[in-house]
């Protein structure tokens, strides 16, 4: 039995499933020579990898040259900084020369202070002079006495005076001979001292010459060592400069890679793609909800049909009879639903 009209509410809306999340996109950054890609790991799980793209042949050649230059610079700096005992200036030869010269000088001074014994020479000189004087006065006495004897004046006053004069002259000559002997001894000592001082001076000049040569040789070694140190420091500075240049090339290569935006761009695209997908899904839901709300509004604004009203009243009466007010409400709703179903048939 159908009384006409459709009092059933619109069916509940059906929503599309939530779209799955977008996968990260692989991004290649040619500016920095890097890429961010998704790979499958040994454990079968996907993982995100940021890696460098292969360098161009020119870039790789420059990169390898920088590495070789750094290796050579480090090796050369290690060699220049290595301890070399042979490069040190040995002071022992110079000190030994000074010690030898001082020893020789001390021996010479001891020899100079040791005065020879000239007494024997002086006494021999005095004895020789005395003998000569004695012989001379003996000769003069004999000749004078012989002369006086031949003339018969051997015991005369003249003979006595002659002998007295010769004796006086002899004594005076012997005394002068003693004085000359002493002076001769002083002259010998002075001459010997002067000779030995002169010899000492000559030997001292030789020693000073040896000392100057030793000092000059030692100074030359010190200057040579200083020049070698200066050259070594300059070489170290040059090698350090080469190392810094090579390190700068390598560092620039690393800085370029570290400046990559591939991960950032991949995340940005990932977030934007998922946001766009969710926005489309939400737009579909909003459209479905709007349609459902329009249907509900039309349903609620339409007047009830006769069949639905009659069955609703019947359901209300039966519900009230068996269940009171709550039963009346339930019975009325059931009657209206049954009426709507009958009308659809």
| Alpha-carbon span 269 to 278, nearest angstrom | 14
53 within domain boundaries:
no
25 within domain boundaries:
no
Give me the domain span that covers residue 199.
85-256
Check residue 317 and give its pLDDT: 47
237 within domain boundaries:
yes
Residues 104-108, mean pLDDT to the nearest whole number? 85
Highest mean pLDDT pick, 17-21, 167-171, 236-240:
236-240
Contact 274, 25 (CB under 8 A): no
Lowest mean per-residue pLDDT among 58-67, 86-95, 263-272: 86-95
Check residue 62 and give its pLDDT: 94
214 within domain boundaries:
yes
Above 60 in pLDDT, residue 332? no
Check residue 165 and give its pLDDT: 81
Check residue 87 and give its pLDDT: 64
Check residue 156 and give its pLDDT: 74
- Measured in degrees and rounded to the nearest 5, phi and psi for residue 195 equal -65, -45
Residues 21-46, mean pLDDT to the nearest whole number? 87
* Total domains, the chain: 1
Q: Which residues contact 182 (CB under 8 A, 6 or more apart)?
A: 122
Above 80 in pLDDT, residue 147? no
- E strands, 41-178, are 46-52
Check residue 313 and give its pLDDT: 52
Average pLDDT taken over every residue of the chain = 80
Residues 187-205, mean pLDDT to the nearest whole number? 83
293 within domain boundaries:
no
| Alpha-carbon span 232 to 255, nearest angstrom | 33
234 within domain boundaries:
yes
133 within domain boundaries:
yes
225 within domain boundaries:
yes
Top-confidence residue, 249 or 327: 249
């Amino acid at each position: 039995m159908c009384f006409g009209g459709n009092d059933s509410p619109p069916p509940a809306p059906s929503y599309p499933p939530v779209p799955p999340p977008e996968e990260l996109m692989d991004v290649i950054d040619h500016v920095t020579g890097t890429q961010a890609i998704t790979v499958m790991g040994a454990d079968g799980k996907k993982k995100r990898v940021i890696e460098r793209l292969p360098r161009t042949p020119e870039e790789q050649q420059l990169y390898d040259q920088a590495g070789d230059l750094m290796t050579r610079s480090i090796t050369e700096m290690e060699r220049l900084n290595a301890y070399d005992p042979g490069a040190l200036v040995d002071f022992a030869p110079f000190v030994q020369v000074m010690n030898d010269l001082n020893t020789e000088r001390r021996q010479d001074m001891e020899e100079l202070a040791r005065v020879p014994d000239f007494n024997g020479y002086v006494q021999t000189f005095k004895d020789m002079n005395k003998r000569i004087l004695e012989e001379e006065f003996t000769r003069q006495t004999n000749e004078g006495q012989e002369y006086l004897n031949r003339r018969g004046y051997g015991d005369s006053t003249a003979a006595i005076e002659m002998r007295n004069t010769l004796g006086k002259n002899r004594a005076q000559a012997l005394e002068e001979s003693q004085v000359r002997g002493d002076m001769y001894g002083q002259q010998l000592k002075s001459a010997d001292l002067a000779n030995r001082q002169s010899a000492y001076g000559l030997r001292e000049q030789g020693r000073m010459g040896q000392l100057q040569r030793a000092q000059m040789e030692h100074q030359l070694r010190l200057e040579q060592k200083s020049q070698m140190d200066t050259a070594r420091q300059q070489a170290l500075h040059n090698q350090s400069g080469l190392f810094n240049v090579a390190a700068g090339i390598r560092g620039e290569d690393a800085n370029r890679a570290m400046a990559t935006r591939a991960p950032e761009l991949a995340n940005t695209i990932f977030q934007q793609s998922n946001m766009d997908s969710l926005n489309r899904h939400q737009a579909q839901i909003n459209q479905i909800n709007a349609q459902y709300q329009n249907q509900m509004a039309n349903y609620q604004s339409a007047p009830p049909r006769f069949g639905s009203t009659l069955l609703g009243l019947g359901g209300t009466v039966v519900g009230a009879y068996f269940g009171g007010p709550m039963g009346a409400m339930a019975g009325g709703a059931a009657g209206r639903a049954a009426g709507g179903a009958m009308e659809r048939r």
